[in-house]
Structure formats: structure tokens, C-alpha cells
Amino acid sequence: MDDFLTELDLTAQAELVRTDQVQPRELVEQAIERIERLDPVLNVMVHRQYERALTDATAALPDGPFRGVPFLFKDYRCREAGEPYSMGMRALRDIGFRASSDAPLALAFRAAGLIPLGRTNTPELASVGTCEPVAYGPTHNPWDLERTPGGSSGGSAAAVAARLVAGAHANDISGSIRIPSGHCGLVGLKPSRGRAIASIASDARTGMNTEGAVTRTVRDAAALLDAISVPGSQPLLPAVARELPALRIGLWTHAFNGSTVDAGNAEAAEHCASLLEGLGGSVEISAPTPLSDPAFWKAAATVLAVNLATEVETWSAKIGRSLGEDDLEATTWRMVTTGRATTAVELLAAMSALIEHTEATEPWWQRFDVLITPTTAGPPTLLGDYTKGYESGRGSAFTRPFNVTGQPAVSIPLGWPDDGLPVTVWIGESGGPRWRAAVRRRIARDAFHAWTAAGVPERFMFVSDSANAMVHVLWRRQLPDRRAGQVTRQTDAQGWLRSAVVELSVRNMLGGLQDTTTLRAVALHEIGHVIGLEHSPDERDIMAPWVVARQISERDRATAGAIYGVGFYEDDR
């Protein structure tokens, strides 16, 4: 099977299965082949369950929104009965620990029709913002193999960025969805507190952890959250296509914890605010001041240390022996020691401080709808440097406060500096209005133009008819392929795109559309807009976006609408 299917997002793959154009086993086999081809370079996988996945692919699957689509679980929470479960810990790895029950979250993912292929790498007990556990070794960032993909959901993020799968489970207690999404150029949505099904009862221990996923598209992020939301939640996916009101936008590029911020990261946030301002929003340099209070950060660190110490005690009881310094990595042990030394009075004081600071942010949210910051204060660190002179807190400098307040937040790709590493912005939301998915969608679409200006391979440049109305994309410049293991080739695209070396997919723009004539017209129009052509290679294929929109069915229009972050919209006149 061609590798082009790996460019499809979860929703597009599910549509192929639903319409019998692809069988689940084909998708699973291709994902397995790609994992085995690229994982020796990336080191994403810590456990493979291929035989079970292949069996699932040929059995009767739940009729969920992602029926038959491959997926990966992060090896932290989201356990499955009978499967290895170690959470980056040598002690659990060495005894071959297997879970005795299914986490409710794992059951929810399976009920959506997803087929787990295995578990991804994570730092020990998901406790730091990199992915370099001693137990399994470092995971490499697909955009730069010498750098970390971030953490703690680094294995999942690297897998999705490298197109091993189109989406993967992740969770976030200080930024662990958003940080690796930022370092790998993905969409990382941290849901509101209590929105997603908890993976274990102790998620409520601090109130700071939430479950979710890392994806490549906004629509997948919304649809996955809908699939794992607690009963009674209002669906998020329909909000993706809604129009935006005039937003009141706070922009902040100073790290809440005082860390230094790289200029490129700050500029990406400023550009994001400018895009939203162009859509009718108002922008003010402002942020809730309680989030920058050192007492807020000290209290959060205390709660996290106690949480980690409690988790170690829990696992000590499970395996029948006390886990000590020799069993844990140095960074983990320092946090555990701090947590164990914290008294109950000190813990309650810290938790009270977090509640008080959260309440103190309310006046700010009466004046603003969204807060825009960089996702991280700097680029991903070189592997091995995170605990060696690394400025502590740069990864979570912007993200941790929203774990405390419980508000939703999302990381969106919106920049590409000269070093070739993706840069994302972080959008925090008040948690009430239903326009927030539309915010992500419009920002993601305009991100395409930011990436173009930075010289990044465009997501589309040429459309050709092919089986199942699928399309291929070619970029006409000789650029190094930044993704590990991706095959490049020379292609003559109708004589006018002649040095095409990076093959991506216009399905990132219009996944799932069935009318290839319309696809061709849209893509050629966008080519002219992006690279400034005065005329098209084929004038017959050019039509204004509003004309094209009228010729697309309601179903396909919904599929095309900005959900992929680039392309056209019905309201573009």
C-alpha cells in the first residue's frame, strides 16, 4: 500500500473505512510497517501489540467515529488488561508488570473504533518535559533527531509527527500535551478539567491532570475529545466550522515563571494575535497577573511533588516492595524526596494558594476571551541537555497555569524559524463560549501562510487524479526532507512543477473530498495565491473560492472547511 495514506488524518482514514475504500487491516498493516521502518531511528515504541491489533482489525469493531483506524496509547495511565504497563519505570519493566484491568479511558478510545497498536515512550512517571527515560532510552524529535520531542507525551507526539499514526493518546499535568505538540508541530488540546474520562480514579488527586490526544488536525482534536468526554458533554466538533465573533484577545510573551523567552517563540505568538486581529478581534498586551506570582509557582511545585511521591508509594504497595533511590532516576527521586518531606498542613496550604490564585484571575477573564502566548519559552533541547544546565521551567513556563485553573488550552503550529524546528502558539480560553474550536480552526488555516513565508514545504502545490479520488502533493523546491525516513523523489508535474522532492498531501487541506475536478480547481487557485502566479498553467481549472464552494456538496464542504488548517472556506470572498 502507498505511504500516501499516512498523510490522512484520523477522520479521513475513518471515512475511507466507512465507504469501503480501505479495510481496517490495510491501515493497521501499513502503520505497523511504517513503525518498524522508522522506530529504530525514533525510539517511539515501548510495547507492541500487533497480533491483537490485526485480530481486532478483522473482527467486528464498534461503530464509532474512528472505526478501524490505528492509534497508539501513551504508556502512562490508559492501561489495558493483560498488556505491559511500566510508565517509564525500570522497576515495572524489569518485573514485566501487566495491568489487571482496563482504564475507562482505554475503553472509550476503543468504543470510538480505534485500534491500538501499542504503547509509546514517556519519561519516568511522566514527571519531566522531555522523553529520555533510563528504562527505554530517548525518543528523537522527527524534525531534528538530535533533539527531544518534549514531554511527557513525547513518544506519542513523535509518532504522530512522523506519520506512524495519525493520532495518539496523551495526557497533561503541566503541559505534557501542549509542550510535545509544540516541539513536534502538532495540534495539542488540553481539555477543561473534568471534561475527559479519567484514566484512573487518582486523576482527581490534584485536579491538574487531564486526558486527551495529540493530532495533526483541529477536527481530529475536537472529534477525539468528543469520543472521550464524560456523558452529557456538549459536542465540540460542530463548533469547528462556526464563525468567530469579535474576540477580546490578551497577548503575553513574558514567561509566567520568569524564564527567558526566545525571540522566535514570542514572534509566533505576536503573529497569531495579529491574525486574529485581522479577523475582527481586539488585541491588548495583558495576562492575569496572579499567574506570574512566585507563590503560585511554588505552590504548584509542592502539589506536584506530593503527587509524585504518592504515586511512588502506590506502586511500592502494588509490587510488594519499597521503591527507593536506586529504583528511580535522580530527577524523579529529588521530587519524591520533596514530596515526602511535605507535611499535610503544607500541602493544604499549597492547594489553598492555587485555588486563591485561580479565583484572582476571574476579573481578567471578564475583560478577555482568549489568552495567546508561546507554547514554550524556547525550542526543544538537545537530547541529554534537559537536566544538564537547562534553565528549569522553560518548557512549562506558559502551560502549567492552566493545569491549575482547569481551563482548556490548545497548542497550534504557527511558525518555522530558520533552524527548521516547528514553533507553536498556546491559546488559553475562558472555558465557556462555544466559538473556541473555530478560533483554533481559523488560526490553523492562517498558519499555512506563516509556514509559507518561512520557506517550509507547502502542504499542497499540485493535484492529480488518482484511485479513490485521492490526491498527491508536490513541492517544487529542492529542500532537505526534515522528517526521519521519508522517501523523496523527482517528479515532472505537468511540466511546470519540475523539482518536486517532498511529497506531502493535499489531504491536509481537503481530506475526504470525492470530486477531484473541484479539488484540482481549488488547489490551483491556492497555488496562484501562494506563489503569486499571474495566470494558471491551465486557466480552465481556476475559479474563485466562492464558485468552488457552491459546487461542493454539504458533506464535502463540511469536510473541507478549515478543519485541516489550510485551504478555503465558504465565507472566503
Name the residues annotated as catalytic.
74, 152, 176
- Residues belonging to the chain: 573
Tell me, what amino acid is at 301? Answer: A
Backbone angles phi, psi at 460, to 5 degrees: -155, 145
3-state SS string over 99-142? CCCCCHHHHHHHHCCCEEEEEECCCHHHCCCCCCCCCCCCCCEC
Give CB contacts under 8 A, 24+ apart, made by 527-530: 527/460, 527/461, 527/462, 530/449, 530/452, 530/458
Angstrom distance (rounded) from CA 456 to CA 475: 10
Handedness of CA 107, 212, 276, 182 (dihedral sign): negative
Q: What is the rounded CA–CA span in Å between residue 113 and residue 95?
A: 32
How far out from the chain centre does Cα 288 lie?
25
Amino acid in position 177: I
CB-side exposure of 552: number of CA atoms within 13 Å? Answer: 29
* Dihedral angle of Cα 536, 539, 543, 544, to the nearest 10 degrees: 50
CA distance 59 to 112: 15
Residue (of 340, 373, 385, 357) closest to 268 by Cα position:
373
CA–CA dist 64, 59 (Å, integer): 14
Q: What is the DSSP string of 280-295?
A: T-EEEE---GGGG-HH
Of 235, 276, 210, 253, the closest CA to residue 444 belongs to: 276
**What distance in Å separates the CA atoms of residue 265 and residue 422, rounded to the nearest whole number?**
10
Q: How far is CA 364 from CA 63, 194, 291, 370, in A?
A: 44, 23, 11, 10
Chain center to CA of 491: 32
Cell numbers describing residue 269: 505568538
Per the CB < 8 A criterion, the answer to whether 123 and 133 are in contact is yes
Give the neighbor-by-neighbor strand order of the sheet with 115-120: 45-48, 115-120, 70-74, 167-172, 210-215, 187-190, 409-415, 423-429, 370-374, 248-251, 282-285
Which three cell numbers, joined as nine digits, stand for 560? 473541507
